[in-house]
Amino acid sequence: MTRSASKIEQRVRELRAEIEHHNYRYFVLDDPEIPDAEFDRLVRELKTLEDAHPELLTPDSPTQRVGSYALSAFGEVRHRVPMLSLDNAFEPEEVEAFDARVRDRLDHDGPIEYACEPKLDGLAVSIVYEDGVLVQAATRGDGTTGEDVTHNVRTVKSVPLRLHGKGWPGVLEARGEVFMPIAGFEAMNRRAQERGEKTFVNPRNAAAGSLRQLDPRVTAERPLEVYFYGVGLIERGGLPERHSQILGSLRKWGLRTAPEATVKRGVEGLLDYYGQMLVRRPSLGYQIDGVVYKVDSLSLQQELGYVARAPRWAIAHKFPAEEEMTTIRDIEWQVGRTGALTPVARLEPVFVGGVTVSNATLHNIDELHRKDVRVGDTVVIRRAGDVIPEVVEVLAERRPLHTRIVRLPESCPVCGSAVVKPEGEAVARCSGGLYCGAQRKESLRHFASRRAMDVEGLGAKLIDQLVDAGYVKNAADLYGLTADRLAGLDRMGEKSAGNLVDALEKSKKTTLARFLYSLGIRDVGEATAHALAGHFASLEEISEASMEKLEEVPDIGPVVAQHIHGFFREQHNRDVIDALRRSGVEWASPPKKPAAERRLSGKTFVITGTLSGMTREEAQDRIRALGGKATGSVSAKTDYLVAGSDPGSKRQKAEKLGIPILDEKAFQALIAN
């Protein structure tokens, strides 16, 4: 059924009012009510209606506005060269159509060369250098007039106050994006939370809020960074003929550009770049919401020109949104391996980050209360990379009249044991230990997992069946399972049962480090398990060690020592370990290695990117075998970063901290000699 003209007009009016409202919340208050993807949908709906009914288009429609609003608290800056926006593509076909339009207009047969860059999710700025000295910084505002944020931008350490080198034009307006790296954003929010202050919902809002501080001393404390992606006004001098060369010049003058920027040929090259950046997105260390393609040649750019608000020679290819809104149908409690009770939101299914999501974590009871999440609420869900989807915030304006407040249960929803929440800890736990079916199942899952005892074919569903049937109460019972017994289970044929028994048999030959890790002692991850196995001569020594002795192991502090010590004081843990060893679980006691074989002792390595000759895990095992330590994140304690191809943000962090970086060849030489 077609809608009547008056209905369409009414919808156009509604959409305009709604978009203006959200523009105000976003640009003026830095406090958006809806995720970007929802906002984009409103704008797209309005554009579609206006395209179909041009008679309804008015000059004040939000679709005719280039950017955002100027903030009245700051002085105004008129951009002598307008700061334009970009058209968006969401599907490969739209990129193909863009490339076809470009070639058509240029009457160009072969593939076009495009400069490709990540599209940062921050705040666009224009920074003017006169005779090499920073004289003015402004936000984009509405594209013609922005806010004067010179004093604040001067506090951003990666913005040079004076250009480096020589050869820059007398007046150079550099344009780029101020953003907040994810690690800095999380640390800042943690500090704000500890002080009971307001936290930011995402790095982009944090960057915008930080740059629009009236007191530059506040901005100076915020971990802001900048990447430049182009130029505006140029006087008394010239620039190279290609966009990629201009980026090179900016870099030479001390203006940072995205390290991922590159040049690609033709539409295949563009889609290849998109795919690569989508994979790298979670490890970049800063948020991007897509990539930008620009015709590299400036003379071709000039030939193509502009339509209304955007250049014909560039397009943003957007990634699937990582934040979406949906409603909460229920909140349930999940009990983990160590008894931790995690509130999990059951959601109206929503497509976010490229998959349909029906559950999202609320982390712990304190977090649930802090965010005031209730059953019935409309919330923003975030799914970034492979990270578990989480509830970011409640959209308070959309709260219905009747919602259900969720409280911490007094008893475990699985086994009925008391729930305890020690003073000062955010996590509440079931006190049932291995009496609790949930903890038992999770412990068994962990025990059988690939990095622990590596029992192939023993997955979560099978463990559920084994525990529910009463066949298995602890890890040692696994080794008493027979093919006959297993074959009686649902969906388990004779062959699979035989395979599982073989896999269990195979898993018995392990290493002390793997065995320690598989026990699931609180806070004993792989690195700590390796450290323990490397420090003590045997499992017996570890189980008898005093707190003081345990604290002698590098990186084991009093809390972890207490967990290890406590674990081995529990008789039922000792019984399970004895039973496991009686059933044949064994490892070779590591011979005390001569010093030459432990030559990486005391050295901490981080591996990043893809190695061509071995997996990252094999490389970590080699480091540990030589007495070194392999960890996952770069810090001041890291001695070397091993960087394979596509190393991502860890490399940048290592460079910043002055940590030596080994390429694969240097690393191979180090472990081979």
For 250-253, the CB contacts below 8 A with 24+ separation are 250/174, 252/164, 252/165, 252/167, 253/160, 253/163, 253/164, 253/165, 253/167, 253/168, 253/172
Nearest approach, Cβ of residue 119 and ligand 5U1 (Å): 5
Part of the chain binding ligand 5U1 (CB under 6 A), chosen from 81-89, 154-162, 388-396, 495-503: 81-89
Asked if residue 374 binds ligand 5U1 (CB under 6 A), the reply is no
CA distances from 487 to 166, 268, 459, 471 (A): 77, 51, 16, 13
Q: Which CB sits closer to ligand 5U1, 117 or 147?
A: 117
Asked if residue 294 binds ligand 5U1 (CB under 6 A), the reply is yes
Asked if residue 82 binds ligand 5U1 (CB under 6 A), the reply is no
Residue 370 β-bridge partners: none
Residues 496-515 that bind ligand 5U1 (CB under 6 A): none
Asked if residue 314 binds ligand 5U1 (CB under 6 A), the reply is yes
AA letter at 538: S
Among 19, 49, 71, 86, binds ligand 5U1 (CB under 6 A): 86
Asked if residue 174 binds ligand 5U1 (CB under 6 A), the reply is no
Residue with tokens 């005892």: 453
Q: Which CB sits closer to ligand 5U1, 229 or 286?
A: 229
Q: Which CB sits closer to ligand 5U1, 302 or 589?
A: 302
Q: Which CB sits closer to ligand 5U1, 204 or 294?
A: 294
Asked if residue 292 binds ligand 5U1 (CB under 6 A), the reply is yes
Q: Which CB sits closer to ligand 5U1, 83 or 368?
A: 83
For ligand 5U1, the nearest residue by Cβ is 229
From the CB of residue 342, how many other CB atoms can be counted at a distance below 10 Å? 19
CB 126 within 8 A of CB 173: yes
* Helix orientation angle between 92-106 and 266-280, rounded to the nearest 10 degrees: 140
Asked if residue 311 binds ligand 5U1 (CB under 6 A), the reply is yes
CB hemisphere CA count around 496 (13 angstroms): 12
The token duo for 438 is: 């949930």
CB hemisphere CA count around 617 (13 angstroms): 4
Among 79, 119, 204, 383, binds ligand 5U1 (CB under 6 A): 119
Active site residues: 119
Question: How far is Cα 146 from Cα 446, in angstroms, rounded to an integer?
Answer: 54
Among 117, 296, 377, 393, binds ligand 5U1 (CB under 6 A): 117
H helical segments located in 142-297: 150-153, 182-194, 203-211, 216-220, 243-252, 266-280
Binding-residue total with ligand 5U1 (CB under 6 A): 11
Asked if residue 85 binds ligand 5U1 (CB under 6 A), the reply is yes
Asked if residue 79 binds ligand 5U1 (CB under 6 A), the reply is no
Residues 220-239 that bind ligand 5U1 (CB under 6 A): 229-230
Residue with tokens 């900016």: 250
Asked if residue 102 binds ligand 5U1 (CB under 6 A), the reply is no
Residue 294: helix, strand or coil by DSSP?
A: strand
CA distances from 194 to 39, 188, 260, 341, 432 (A): 32, 10, 35, 22, 31
Q: Which CB sits closer to ligand 5U1, 120 or 345?
A: 120
Asked if residue 327 binds ligand 5U1 (CB under 6 A), the reply is no
What does the binding site for ligand 5U1 look like in residue numbers (CB under 6 A)?
84-86, 117, 119, 229-230, 292, 294, 311, 314
